[in-house]
Amino acid sequence: MAANTNRETIVVADEKAIAEAAAHRLINRLEEAKDRAAICLTGGSSPQGLYRLLAEEPWRSRVPWGRVHWFIGDDRFVPEDDPLSNMGMARRLFLDKVGVPRGNVHPIPTDADDPENAANLNQHTIREFYGAGRLDPARPLFDLVLMGVGPDGHTASLFPGQRELDEKERWVVGVAKAGMEPWVPRVTLTFPALASTREMLFIVDGAGKRDIVRRVFSGEDLPAARAYSDGALVWLLDRAAAPEGHHG
Ligand code: 6PG
């Protein structure tokens, strides 16, 4: 599918409204899934309001925790208790607070020997969960994939100009050199794996993001613009991040 042909943009007032709108979308996807559901989380500051909300009522009681599985789109190659760890952040903000069954959280194993190894192990876990080594667009891997965008246009740990952008076969790859700080090696899901979802939801807030959102929407060749979805592709912005002409 050509990137971004199906993009929907939603603009809400502020960070609080973003967290609530994202929580609504997540609950809807979980309800649709009926049985086992898979959510791919993201790092960064933008999803933190959502994560906090999920640990609080009324949201907490609306999530069928026992049947939801949690993955992460990318992580820094650091231990989970390091403040830089994306899965560590999600655990602290909500997963640990609500007592998610241990087997329902599938972190990138950053205690592996190196990022390549961690990528292979995580790919194996995801393929086992999916039950096949090839993705079938008619049977998405995820119900919801959360994404963010960095000031340079990166998304997950897919940085401008790096070769991981062109990966078509592997679902998870090591990233030896990050494109921006923190300068630690990363592990990231690839575009085809991230695309295998009923919905990809970008969460973007703050005036500091307005220019990069404008560039992505204008069709510049940036990683966040290359991200595509086999299902819905939604950009959820607050007013501060929304470029001219996208104020909802
Ligand atoms: C990471 C994230 C990354 C993030 C963007 C946006 O590991 O850093 O997964 O891709 O989503 O950098 O980050 P903010 O939400 O903090 O702006």
For 119-158, write each residue's pLDDT tens digit. 999 999 999 999 999 999 999 999 999 999 999 999 999 9
86 CB within 6 A, ligand 1? yes
Task: Count Cβ atoms below 10 Å from residue 10 Cβ, excluding itself.
Answer: 18
48 CB within 6 A, ligand 1? no
Question: How many angstroms separate the CA atoms of 70 and 39, rounded?
Answer: 5
* 44 CA distance to ligand 1 middle (Å): 4
| pLDDT mean across residues, the chain | 95
Ligand 1 atom showing the smallest separation from residue 204 Cα: 15
- What pLDDT, on the 0 to 100 scale, is given for residue 4? 52
For 37-47, write each residue's pLDDT tens digit. 999 999 999 99
* 149 CA distance to ligand 1 middle (Å): 6
pTM assigned to the model:
0.96
Q: For ligand 1, atom 10, which residue shows the shortest CA distance?
A: 156
- Taking residues 6-33, report their average pLDDT: 97
- What pLDDT, on the 0 to 100 scale, is given for residue 248? 57
Ligand 1 atom showing the smallest separation from residue 46 Cα: 15
* 156 CA distance to ligand 1 middle (Å): 7
Place of tokens 């929407």: 217
Instruction: Give residues with Cβ within 8 angstroms of 119, minimum separation 6.
Output: 108, 170, 172, 173, 174, 187, 188
Question: How many angstroms separate the CA atoms of 31 and 44, rounded?
Answer: 26
CATH number for the domain formed by residue range(s) 2-182+190-238: 3.40.50.1360
Q: Which of 41, 74, 237 should be mutated for ligand 1, with most atoms under 8 A from CB?
A: 74
* 155 CA distance to ligand 1 middle (Å): 7
155 CB within 6 A, ligand 1? yes
Q: Which of 46, 200, 201 should be mutated for ligand 1, with most atoms under 8 A from CB?
A: 46
For 152-207, write each residue's pLDDT tens digit. 999 999 999 999 999 999 999 999 988 888 899 999 999 999 999 999 999 999 99
- What pLDDT, on the 0 to 100 scale, is given for residue 182? 86
Which strand (E) or helix (H) includes residue 217?
A: helix 210-217
Q: How confident is the model at residue 5 (pLDDT cuts 50, 70, 90)?
A: low
Q: How confident is the model at residue 2 (pLDDT cuts 50, 70, 90)?
A: very low
Residue 1 has pLDDT above 80, yes or no: no
- Taking residues 42-63, report their average pLDDT: 97
Q: How confident is the model at residue 34 (pLDDT cuts 50, 70, 90)?
A: confident
* 197 CA distance to ligand 1 middle (Å): 19
- What pLDDT, on the 0 to 100 scale, is given for residue 169? 97
Give the neighbor-by-neighbor strand order of the sheet with 68-72: 7-12, 232-238, 199-204, 144-147, 37-41, 68-72
74 CB within 6 A, ligand 1? yes
44 CB within 6 A, ligand 1? yes
Question: How many angstroms separate the CA atoms of 63 and 209, rounded?
Answer: 30
Q: 3-state secondary structure string, 97-137?
A: CCCCCHHHECCCCCCCCCHHHHHHHHHHHHHHHHCCCCCEC
- The answer to whether residues 70 and 100 touch, using CB atoms and an 8 Å cutoff, is yes
Q: How confident is the model at residue 246 (pLDDT cuts 50, 70, 90)?
A: confident
